[in-house]
Amino acid sequence: MKQKKPNPQGKGLSTVLDALVDSQVKTSLPPKNIDQVSSELFTSLFVLNTNFEFRPVAGNSYWLYHTNDKFKLFSTSPNDWACGQPGIFIGECVLQNDVTWTIQINQDVSQQEWFISYLHQQKIHLEESLENSISLEEAMPFYVKKMSYYSRLLAYGLGTSLNTSMQKSGINALHYDQAKMLLSYDSKKPE
């Protein structure tokens, strides 16, 4: 009798643990202030909340599209689609070595009202989340249930990375407002 494989996707415990280790930062992290943290968190969560079913590699480019009222990340650039793009090209995304994401927004999309409004709403949502957390460390996306498997792994790595940078700058245990006040205080100090 042939035995049934209990986990056909290969996402068993040892594979998940290996993936968690792989999602960790493999570079030295600098201290970051609250503006850097919130900016990197915003951009990274924007990418991680899109649909993608592959494992991104640091340093590689990926392309974000908007189709059927959803954002989707693909490994195919706008010029490489044989039968046309799958939707509106939003921008080129790159996973950094510190597990944050950068995005170069398509110039045409950056001027469109629907996109500007969407980003504004997401920014408000992030600020509310930061303000409602007891500490900045608590606000990090160590586990986000609604995310897909690879997004969840990368969110864990992102949370760990940003938390380490905040520890180095001494703000991880602070409330968002305290970190903002500290930033204001530091910018007013004479050099």
Q: What is the chain's pLDDT, residue by residue, as a tens digit (191 residues)?
A: 555 555 555 555 445 444 444 445 545 788 999 999 999 999 999 999 998 988 999 999 999 999 988 999 999 999 998 888 899 999 999 999 999 999 999 999 999 999 999 999 999 999 999 999 999 999 998 877 888 888 999 999 999 999 999 999 999 999 999 999 887 765 555 55
What is the 3-state secondary structure of the chain?
CCCCCCCCCCCCHHHHHHHHHHCCCCCCCCCCCHHHHHHHHHHHHHHHCCECCCCCCCCCEEEEEEECCEEEEECCCHHHCCCCCCCEEEEEEEECCCCCEEEEECHHHHCCHHHHHHHHHHHHHHHHHHHHCCCHHHHCCCCCCCCCHHHHHHHHHHHHHHHHHHHHHCCCCCCHHHHHHHHHHHHHCCC
Q: Where are the domains of the chain?
A: 37-186
Q: What is the pTM of this model?
A: 0.82
